[in-house]
Structure 1
Amino acid sequence: MLKWLKRVIYTILIVFFLAVGVFFALRNPQLISLDLVFWQGPELSVALYTILSFTVGACVALLVSSVAYLRSERQIRVLTRKYEKALEDVDALRKASIAQELSVGKE
């Protein structure tokens, strides 16, 4: 039920940010040359360099967060296996305890 609301909100946000990007590009048509220590970039508009830097930043953030996500997923699998093993051990101890009580009760 809320999926359609989530999609509408995401669509509105995407359209908003695209509109802001287009407005920014239209308001900043100046050409600049990006000069890094070992590399000189071509002359492009300020808006294009800004959009490129945001895109590269988003990709780097996605990469870093995916590494953390994969690490936590691996840890969840390991802990789930340990939890299941502990449950099996507890179940075995309960069965052994019940069997011992029954054998003591018969005597």
Structure 2
Amino acid sequence: MSWILRFIYAAIGLSIVLLGVLISVNNSQLARVDLYWWQAPELPLGSVILIMLLIGAVLGILASSAVVWRTRRQNKYLQKQMKSVQARLDHLG
């Protein structure tokens, strides 16, 4: 079963790489990203798109990991409370 998952992950990874190559090849015009405090050098539009996609993915992972961390912490707290209440109920019964 694990070899099937590895194959699926490899196929997804290869598809993403091929998609990135296609985007880079089909968008060869030069583009520049201008922010208020920084200017990027001119790069092919496909590269700019892929870089921005990567930055967005990393920021999304960071944002969701904060939510997951908070949820796990709350889950541990609630499990601790549940054990305490269960111990009190066992003591009463």
Q: What is the alpha-carbon distance in structure 2 between the residues aligned to residue 87 and residue 33 of structure 1?
A: 62
> Alpha-carbon deviation of 1:10?
1.3
Query: Unmatched 5+ residue regions in structure 2?
Result: none
Query: Unmatched 5+ residue regions in structure 1?
Result: 95-107
Partner residue in 2 for 1:24: 23
> Alpha-carbon deviation of 1:28?
1.7
Task: Give the TM-score of the pair, scaled to structure 2.
Answer: 0.91
Q: What is the alpha-carbon distance in structure 2 between the residues aligned to residue 73 and residue 48 of structure 1?
A: 37
Number of residue pairs matched by the alignment: 93
Q: What letter corresponds to residue 52 of structure 2 in structure 1?
A: S
> Alpha-carbon deviation of 1:4?
2.1
Superposed, which structure 2 residues align to 1:24-103 within 5 Å? 24-94=23-93
Q: What is the alpha-carbon distance in structure 1 between the residues aligned to residue 86 and residue 6 of structure 2?
A: 41
Alignment RMSD (CA, Å):
1.2
Higher relative contact order (CA 8 A, sep 6+): 2
If each structure's strand is expressed as a fraction of its own residues, which one has the higher value?
Answer: 1
Task: Give the TM-score of the pair, scaled to structure 1.
Answer: 0.80
